[in-house]
């Protein structure tokens, strides 16, 4: 029984038929033409691609740029006017690069600056381009390639408070600033914070001028004073012998 199963059922046999899809070898480089009806359908549904013009990507980019420049957003114009107003009426402006920061930490920094009457604004590059166009602040546009916050204050004396808040918030990196209409780098901005205020400097300058004036007056009167003292001393020495001679004559008599 086992031999029957092994020899009869489990023995492999070669198939009687061999199926072939094509009679010959398929030529990929020169395929056979399709059937007439199929060829008609393929010709109808064949896609048509427009031949691109010379330097077409650059031309399309220029056209898109022109169309974008022609479209004027009135809301951006209003915000740009507001930003320019901040620049015109602020004596202290600081540009801060905003790294990855939680909104809670950003809000705490804004509150700390608001306590010192300092405002924080964030504008995009298109708005800043409109705001500072044809003004003396046009040189700050390269600072807005990434997210940048602007700190405004009408008082220059708040520069120490601004640096103190930025020191406590490392995610805000100082890049530069504008002090009384003059653009300063980061080092110049920090050096300006160590300088005394204008009132103290004026008082020191007035004291220096007063001391210099007193020294000049003293130098001019020095020779006259010495001459007067010498003449006075000479007069006193000449008067002593004249007083002593009459007294001697009385004694002799």
Identify which of 92, 80, 168, 153 has the alpha carbon closest to the alpha carbon of residue 119: 153
Domains in the chain (CATH in brackets) are 74-194 (3.30.70.1730)
Under a CB-based contact definition with an 8 Å cutoff, are residues 179 and 145 in contact? no
* Torsions phi, psi for 177 (to 5 deg): -170, 175
Q: Tell me the Cα Rg of the chain.
A: 48
* Angstrom distance (rounded) from CA 72 to CA 69: 7
User: What string of pLDDT tens digits covers the 253 residues of the chain?
Assistant: 666 555 655 555 565 666 666 566 778 888 888 899 999 999 999 998 877 666 666 777 777 777 766 667 788 889 999 999 999 889 999 999 999 989 999 999 999 999 999 999 999 888 888 888 888 888 888 888 889 999 999 988 889 999 999 999 999 999 999 998 888 889 999 988 888 777 887 888 888 888 877 777 777 777 778 887 888 887 878 776 655 555 555 444 4
Count of Cβ atoms closer than 10 Å to residue 123 Cβ: 20
């Amino acid at each position: 029984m086992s031999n029957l199963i092994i020899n009869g059922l489990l023995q492999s046999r070669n198939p009687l038929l061999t199926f072939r899809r094509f009679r010959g070898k398929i030529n990929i480089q020169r395929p056979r033409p399709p059937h007439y009806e199929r060829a008609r359908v393929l010709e109808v549904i064949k896609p048509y691609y427009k031949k691109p013009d010379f330097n077409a990507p650059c031309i399309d980019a220029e056209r898109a740029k022109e169309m974008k420049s022609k479209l004027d957003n009135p809301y951006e114009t209003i915000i740009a006017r507001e930003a320019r107003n901040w620049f015109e009426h602020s004596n202290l402006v600081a540009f801060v690069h905003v790294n990855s920061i939680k909104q809670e930490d950003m809000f705490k920094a804004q509150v700390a600056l608001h306590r010192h009457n300092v405002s924080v604004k964030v504008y995009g590059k298109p708005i800043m381009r409109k705001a500072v166009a044809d003004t003396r602040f046009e040189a700050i546009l390269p600072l807005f390639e990434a997210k940048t916050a602007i700190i405004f204050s009408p008082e220059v004396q708040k520069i120490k408070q601004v640096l103190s808040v930025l020191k406590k918030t490392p995610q805000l990196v100082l890049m530069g600033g504008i002090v009384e209409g003059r653009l300063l780098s980061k080092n110049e901005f920090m050096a300006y914070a160590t300088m005394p205020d204008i009132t103290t400097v004026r008082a020191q300058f007035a004291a220096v001028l007063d001391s210099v004036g007193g020294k000049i007056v003293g130098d001019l009167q020095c020779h006259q004073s010495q001459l007067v003292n010498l003449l006075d001393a000479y007069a006193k020495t000449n008067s002593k012998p004249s007083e002593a001679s009459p007294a001697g004559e009385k004694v002799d008599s």
